[in-house]
Structure 1
Amino acid sequence: MEATIKVVLLGDSSVGKTSIVTRLKSGKFLAKHAATIGAAFITKTIEVPSNGASAEKRIHMEIWDTAGQERYKSLVPMYYRDANIALLVFELGSVSSLQCAKTWFQDLQDRAQGTQVILVGNKYDLVCEEHSGELAIPAELQGLPYVAVSAKTGYNFDALNKIIISLVPENQFKILPKDNEQGNILEINKERSGGGCIC
């Protein structure tokens, strides 16, 4: 049985965590979502080129979307405690959501030190429209892999995917013959636990 990499999204309510998960899963954007209660996840298998001309590498991921509302924050640690990678999501232009991301980072350092962390600034399309520019990253978060994206337009999602894949340990990939019939990106069964989604 191949290894599974657990990726969890953390951040304030309405920063676009569910929209990011949807974009990662299907390459699409849905304008409306119900609020996530607890957490929800999808599973996805990705194939990436390997160094060998006759082989490809495959990785199986669980991508977890956690609730951002204050009343659910006490539940979130049980979802990220065994995560391999955490995406700290904030809204570009929102100082409060960036501070929330900093709080989650401090929590990860206390409870999940082995988790690799990526800082993700979402809603780049709004920053462009309002010509407001990006926020300065707090010193505590500087040095983390960082990418600004737009779940709405798909801006920079190739870069986000590459960063996620780069943090997966080499021994977690399954090596496949290059003529494998699985295809480049496989969508595995979508599973939900605990309710709807966050927008």
Structure 2
Amino acid sequence: MSAMRVDAKVVMLGKESVGKTSLVERYVHHRFLVGPYQNTIGAAFVAKPIQVGEKVITLGIWDTAGSERYEAMSRIYYRGARAAIVCYDLTDSSSFQRARFWVKELQNCEEHCKIYLCGTKNDLIQGDRSLRQIDYHDAQDFAEEIGAQHFETSSKTGNNVDELFQKVAEDYNDTAFQYMTGLCPYLSEIYGK
């Protein structure tokens, strides 16, 4: 019997240059590109299947532009998202304030969207602790306040990147069918739930 396939829409949100594209690049292609990135315009899309139990969850990842001029466009991309990875740069306190903005947006517009708070560029603070501008406990407290999982990642080293996306897939696997079967009782017979 082949694995059941389920698609999950995941959106990446956060201030420009926090490392959203690098996270996606590390997760999907297992690489870190050195040099200046060309800023994302609008959004980029990539899909990656991941095995969770007997299901294959295909994460449809929307990497949105972080520039405020694309803010209205980002709202279009996160519509209908089941998960949002809200990123901030551990070395940039203004990016954490922007992450708070995106969390409020999601809470107001996408009530069924699960939020993951992601501190990026952990490798930089490992090399020089004085570069950290967002205290771990402050970010963790905020994550608990909004009911989010909190990760500190490094796209350069790969630290916690796979774990972040694995958690998204596992959570989607745990909740998606409960949500669907609540809407359509006959689906529980089809999927054996």
TM-score category by the smaller chain?
A: 0.7 to 0.9
Does the CA-based 8 Å contact 1:120-1:146 persist in structure 2?
yes
TM-score under structure 1 length normalisation = 0.77
TM-score under structure 2 length normalisation = 0.80
Residue of structure 2 in register with 1:63 after alignment: 61
Residue of structure 2 in register with 1:98 after alignment: 96
Deviations 1:100-127 (A, max 9, x none): 0000000001111110000000000111
Q: Which amino acid aligns with 1:137?
A: A
Q: Counterpart of 2:97 in 1: which secondary structure? A: helix
Q: Which amino acid aligns with 1:157?
A: V
Deviation at 1:159, TM superposition (A): 2.2
Q: Which amino acid aligns with 1:146?
A: H
* 2: CA distance, partners of 1:103 / 1:71: 15
Does the CA-based 8 Å contact 1:3-1:172 persist in structure 2?
no
Residue of structure 1 in register with 2:78 after alignment: 80
Residue of structure 2 in register with 1:89 after alignment: 87
Give structure 2 stretches of 5+ with no counterpart: 178-193
* 2: CA distance, partners of 1:45 / 1:137: 30
Selected match of 1:153 from 157, 169, 172: 157
Residue of structure 1 in register with 2:41 after alignment: 37
Q: Which amino acid aligns with 1:14?
A: S
Deviation at 1:141, TM superposition (A): 3.5
Give structure 1 stretches of 5+ with no counterpart: 51-55, 174-199
2:58 matches 1:17: no
* 1: CA distance, partners of 2:88 / 2:175: 31
Deviation at 1:3, TM superposition (A): 3.2
Residue of structure 2 in register with 1:47 after alignment: 51
Q: Counterpart of 2:72 in 1: which secondary structure? A: coil
Does the CA-based 8 Å contact 1:102-1:141 persist in structure 2?
no
Pick 1 or 2: higher relative contact order, CA cutoff 8 A, min separation 6: 1
Aligned length in residues:
167
- CA RMSD of the aligned region, Å? 2.0
Once the two structures are aligned, what percentage of the paired residues are identical? 39
Instruction: Give the 3 Å change call, closer, same or farther, for CA 138–159 of structure 1 in structure 2.
Output: closer
